[in-house]
């Protein structure tokens, strides 16, 4: 018997000896809970595996001032709306409370403190029995007919790698570890990254009394008001998400001259006419929750991109040198799916699933992904839609 045949026989034996689940959901954040709830509404009691000891762990780790950029009424998950007491723009802590209430309301079956290491094909075939083995830190693998991966688009921080960084004499803080700017009052801080996280952290530092806040800019971001004439920006995102990207870019290019602030005189050039094309690459526009006012007031100063570090100094792309007390790195995240499913041939060149929502990747029936896009129409709204579609597809099959 060849090693490959022996491995297949071992996997089949494990599958037979392990109590099989109809559906295993990996991750107890909004995406995973939404799928489990949508399945429960259809009579399927999914098992949700979560490495943390509480649901919604990723939301618990965000910075203090974070609120949803989408209104409460458009941000609920299947089967349970966000309570009105949480207000129109729901805070981080209230999102966590909502997720806790959500799991309790739907009586979801969760196994917390369980890290999923790897998802393997079981070898049992597409009909009858399990298709998948979910290897965890807790004993024998879990056999399942369907596996839904919901570990999140923003799972693993992109580690900085600038020349000289190891010798930087100031404090280096990753955005995932930032909570608020209180400890940097009266100090100089450089924030690297002009997405929603970076711009909001820069604003927070200024509001907490940092002496100087520099915002390093490589690509000028599109900046939109959270609402215009009382209408949330999300409404536009929903309206255009099915239109041709080139058309949306053309229209957006015209509207940007009217709707986006001109901060050129403050050192932040206008963004290009490519708003929707950037969205398709995973870079959504910045929602202005204070950064525009902070830049205009001189409390946040846009500067050129970071090039290198040397001792206490940071050298920028235009040759300028800064000596910050701290550098906050908000250069984004990646999905980090390679250890989990990278061996299955279901990821593209960016490490994202080749299919998501109601479509399984080619050659991987019963494997589903949710939460691995960064939609302009609102993440929680799309998670709700994905969950309902996945539940329909699972119960059909």
Res. 19: pLDDT tops 70: no
The pair phi, psi for residue 157, each rounded to 5°, is: -60, 140
CATH number of the CATH domain containing 222: 3.50.50.60
Specify the higher pLDDT residue, 385 or 373.
385
% of the chain residues with pLDDT over 90:
70
Please give the C-alpha separations between residue 147 and each of 23, 30, 75, 106, 125, in angstroms, as whole numbers: 6, 16, 25, 20, 15
Residue 335 — very low, low, confident or very high, per pLDDT cuts 50/70/90?
A: confident
Domain boundary among 304, 332, 360: 332
Res. 258: pLDDT tops 90: no
Q: What is the pLDDT of residues 21-32, one digit of tens each?
A: 999 999 999 999
Three-state secondary-structure class, residue 390? helix
Specify the higher pLDDT residue, 211 or 275.
211
Would you give the DSSP letter of residue 43? T
Question: 173 and 286: one domain?
Answer: yes
Tell me the pairing of strands 313-316 and 156-157: unpaired
- Burial level of 44, CB count in 10 A (0-12/13-18/19+)? middle
Question: 344 and 221: one domain?
Answer: no
Q: pTM here?
A: 0.87
Tokens at 222, concatenated:
């599109």
**pLDDT of amino acid 196:** 93
DSSP sequence for 273-315: S-HHHHHHTT-PPEEESSHHHHHHTTSSEEEEPEEEEETTEEE
Q: What is the pLDDT of residues 129-167, one digit of tens each?
A: 569 999 999 889 999 999 999 998 877 888 889 999 999
Tokens at 158, concatenated:
């992109």
Calculate mean pLDDT across residues 232-253: 71
Residue 9 — very low, low, confident or very high, per pLDDT cuts 50/70/90?
A: very low
Question: For residue 197, which of 301, 373, 67 has the smallest C-alpha distance?
Answer: 67
Give me the domain span that covers residue 372. Answer: 3-155+335-396
Question: 305 and 347: one domain?
Answer: no
Res. 11: pLDDT tops 60: no
**pLDDT of amino acid 397:** 67
Domain boundary among 332, 358, 388: 332
**pLDDT of amino acid 7:** 44
Domain count, the chain: 2
Domain boundary among 280, 312, 332: 332
**Residue appearing with tokens 């279901």:** 346
Question: 171 and 320: one domain?
Answer: yes
**pLDDT of amino acid 162:** 96
Cβ neighbour number for residue 310 with a 10 Å cutoff: 14
Res. 82: pLDDT tops 50: yes
Question: 366 and 236: one domain?
Answer: no
Specify the higher pLDDT residue, 240 or 160.
160
Res. 122: pLDDT tops 60: yes
Tokens at 292, concatenated:
């525009």
Q: Are 15 and 130 in contact (CB under 8 A)?
A: yes
Q: What is the pLDDT of residues 301-334, one digit of tens each?
A: 999 999 999 999 999 999 999 999 999 999 888 8
Question: For residue 341, which of 367, 304, 375 has the smallest C-alpha distance?
Answer: 367
Tell me the pairing of strands 326-329 and 188-192: parallel
**pLDDT of amino acid 373:** 84
Mean pLDDT across the chain: 89
Question: 164 and 283: one domain?
Answer: yes
Q: What is the pLDDT of residues 172-192, one digit of tens each?
A: 999 999 999 999 999 999 999
Question: 102 and 20: one domain?
Answer: yes
CA distance 79 to 240: 26
Calculate mean pLDDT across residues 52-59: 95
% of the chain residues with pLDDT over 70:
87
Question: 151 and 235: one domain?
Answer: no
**pLDDT of amino acid 334:** 85
**pLDDT of amino acid 257:** 61
**pLDDT of amino acid 6:** 46
**Residue appearing with tokens 């058309």:** 247
- Burial level of 52, CB count in 10 A (0-12/13-18/19+)? middle
HSE-up of residue 83 (Cα within 13 Å, Cβ side):
13
Question: For residue 116, which of 32, 40, 34, 177 has the smallest C-alpha distance?
Answer: 32
Residues 6 or more apart whose Cβ sits within 8 Å of residue 309: 162, 163, 164, 165, 167, 168, 315
Q: Are 197 and 291 in contact (CB under 8 A)?
A: no
**pLDDT of amino acid 141:** 93
Question: 316 and 381: one domain?
Answer: no
Tokens at 325, concatenated:
């007390």
**pLDDT of amino acid 177:** 94
Question: 178 and 320: one domain?
Answer: yes
Calculate mean pLDDT across residues 243-258: 68
Question: 357 and 391: one domain?
Answer: yes
Question: 98 and 130: one domain?
Answer: yes
- Burial level of 224, CB count in 10 A (0-12/13-18/19+)? buried
């Amino acid at each position: 018997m060849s090693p490959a045949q022996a491995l297949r026989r071992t996997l089949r034996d494990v599958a037979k000896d392990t109590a099989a689940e109809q559906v295993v959901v990996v991750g107890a954040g909004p995406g995973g809970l939404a799928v489990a709830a949508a399945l429960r509404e259809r009579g399927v009691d999914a098992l949700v595996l979560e490495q943390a000891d509480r649901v919604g762990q990723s939301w618990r780790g965000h910075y203090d001032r974070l609120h949803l950029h989408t209104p409460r009424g458009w941000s609920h998950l299947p089967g349970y709306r966000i309570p009105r007491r949480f207000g129109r723009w729901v805070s981080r802590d209230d999102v966590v409370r909502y997720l806790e209430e959500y799991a309790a309301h739907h009586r979801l079956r969760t196994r917390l403190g369980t890290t999923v290491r790897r998802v393997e094909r079981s070898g049992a075939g597409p009909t009858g029995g399990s298709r998948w083995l979910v290897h965890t830190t807790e004993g024998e693998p879990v056999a399942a007919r369907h596996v839904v991966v919901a570990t999140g688009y923003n799972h693993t921080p992109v580690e900085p790698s600038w020349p000289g960084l190891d010798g930087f004499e100031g404090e280096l803080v990753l955005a995932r570890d930032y909570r608020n700017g209180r400890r940097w009052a009266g100090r100089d801080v450089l924030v690297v990254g002009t997405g929603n996280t970076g711009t909001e952290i820069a604003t927070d530092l200024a509001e907490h009394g940092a002496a100087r806040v520099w915002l390093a800019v490589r690509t000028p971001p599109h900046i939109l008001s959270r609402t215009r004439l009382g209408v949330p920006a999300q409404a536009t995102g929903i309206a255009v998400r099915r239109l041709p990207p080139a058309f949306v870019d053309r229209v957006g290019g015209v509207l940007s001259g009217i709707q986006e602030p001109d901060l050129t005189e403050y050192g932040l050039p206008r963004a290009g006419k490519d708003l929707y094309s950037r969205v398709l690459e995973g870079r959504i526009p910045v929602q202005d929750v204070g950064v525009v006012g902070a830049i205009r007031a001189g409390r946040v100063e846009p500067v050129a991109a970071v090039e290198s570090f040397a001792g206490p100094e940071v050298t920028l792309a235009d040759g300028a040198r800064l000596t910050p007390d701290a550098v906050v790195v908000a250069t984004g995240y990646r999905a980090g799916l390679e250890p989990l499913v990278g061996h299955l041939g279901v990821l593209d060149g960016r490490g994202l699933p080749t299919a998501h929502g109601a479509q399984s990747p080619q050659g991987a029936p019963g494997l589903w992904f949710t939460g691995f896009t960064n939609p302009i129409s609102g993440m929680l709204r799309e998670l709700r839609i994905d969950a309902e579609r996945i539940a329909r597809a699972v119960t059909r099959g």
